[in-house]
Amino acid sequence: MHAIKNVLILGSGTMGMQIGFLCAAAGHDVIIYDAFDQALVNAQDRLRKVADSLIAHNRVDQDQADKGILRIKFTSDAVLAGKNADLMNESVPEDPKLKAKVFSQFNKICPEHTLFTTNTSTLVPSMIADATGRPDRFAALHFHDCSITNIVDVMPHSGTSKQTLDTILGFCKSIKQYPIELKKEQHGYVFNTLLTELLGAALSLASGQVASYEDVDRAWMGIMRTHAGPFGIMDSIGLETVYKATDYWAAKTNNAKGKQNADFLKTFVEKGNLGMKTGKGFYQYPDPAFLKPDFLEGIH
């Protein structure tokens, strides 16, 4: 198995930029490929901001960032991008057909030894494995917001070789990320599986009028000692995103409780109260009630 030196990132959007920078700051040579020249122009403009954000969160220091920036190249030339890659991480939009297309494209370009990984949030690797043309050298390697956490998910499919898995786990350590290794495929990995259940339960309590959403958050925050409860978290995700996912799964599984939760969220979405980004959701921003000392008065 080749040592991982050259990293290819597919997609220069939000995640591709963070992941590419993280790898470069850790000492890897990185090529960021995008099919759209304008996306690459925007990405190059954003590179310093991405670096500053990771420095501000103590993920990298100034010296690592400065040296890392010099190790990143941007291109829309697929052959140039792929010809020397040891590991590729794909961050194109969350569309299984598009992902299959780009993996198949790069299978023809990349050397035999190149390991392919996907940063998909919701799919599982077996859905794309055949299209990669190298299913034994393919797994999910999924990052969260790299400025706030060093937790990554490593999820093989049943055809991923042990050598591939071991190399990806070693690669995670080389870029100072802590890999959560999934032993079998799971939509949403570990964290989103937990979060989905938590948010669903919180919504059921409020939509079923068992407790107010403020009290649901109080219960969670007061006992778990966290800075936000499930409704505060939904405000930061964006209520239309939570609504769409809740509505989709309620319809797909014919789930009456899920439908009740979706209808509850819809009342906020229809008013344009989408959460933090619109200044109003369950709470008002920039100073939401749950961050004020009196929110948990009597508990502390």
Ligand X SMILES: NC(=O)c1ccc[n+]([C@@H]2O[C@H](COP(=O)([O-])OP(=O)(O)OC[C@H]3O[C@@H](n4cnc5c(N)ncnc54)[C@H](O)[C@@H]3O)[C@@H](O)[C@H]2O)c1
Q: Per rule CB under 6 A, is residue 11 in the interface with ligand X?
A: yes
Q: Per rule CB under 6 A, is residue 179 in the interface with ligand X?
A: no
Residue 100's contacts (CB-CB under 8 Å, 6 or more residues apart) are: 128, 131
Among 102, 110, 128, 152, binds ligand X (CB under 6 A): 102
Q: Per rule CB under 6 A, is residue 13 in the interface with ligand X?
A: yes
Give the span between the Cα atoms of 243 and 21, in whole angstroms: 32
Which residue has 């103590």 as its token pair?
Answer: 58
Residue among 66 and 77 whose Cβ is closer to ligand X: 77
Q: Per rule CB under 6 A, is residue 36 in the interface with ligand X?
A: yes
Q: Per rule CB under 6 A, is residue 89 in the interface with ligand X?
A: no
CB 19 within 8 A of CB 47: no
Stretch that binds ligand X, among 91-99, 124-132, 178-186, 272-280 (CB under 6 A): 91-99
Which tokens belong to 232? Answer: 């505060």
Residue among 102 and 172 whose Cβ is closer to ligand X: 102
Residue among 11 and 200 whose Cβ is closer to ligand X: 11
Residue 80's contacts (CB-CB under 8 Å, 6 or more residues apart) are: 31
Q: Per rule CB under 6 A, is residue 91 in the interface with ligand X?
A: yes
Beta carbon of residue 295, minimum distance to ligand X (angstroms, whole number): 27
Beta carbon of residue 298, minimum distance to ligand X (angstroms, whole number): 36
> Would you call 223 exposed, middle or buried from its count of C-beta atoms within 10 A (0-12, 13-18, 19+)?
exposed
Q: Per rule CB under 6 A, is residue 124 in the interface with ligand X?
A: no
Name the region of 219 (left: φ>0; alpha: ψ -120 to 50; beta: rest): alpha
Q: Per rule CB under 6 A, is residue 93 in the interface with ligand X?
A: yes
Among 119, 177, 207, 261, binds ligand X (CB under 6 A): 119
> Would you call 162 exposed, middle or buried from its count of C-beta atoms within 10 A (0-12, 13-18, 19+)?
exposed
Q: Per rule CB under 6 A, is residue 68 in the interface with ligand X?
A: no
Q: Per rule CB under 6 A, is residue 248 in the interface with ligand X?
A: no
Amino acid identity, position 168: I
Give the span between the Cα atoms of 219 and 213, in whole angstroms: 10
Beta carbon of residue 5, minimum distance to ligand X (angstroms, whole number): 22
CB 119 within 8 A of CB 91: yes
Where on the chain is the footprint of ligand X (CB under 6 A)? Answer: 10-16, 34-36, 39, 91-94, 98, 102, 119-121, 143
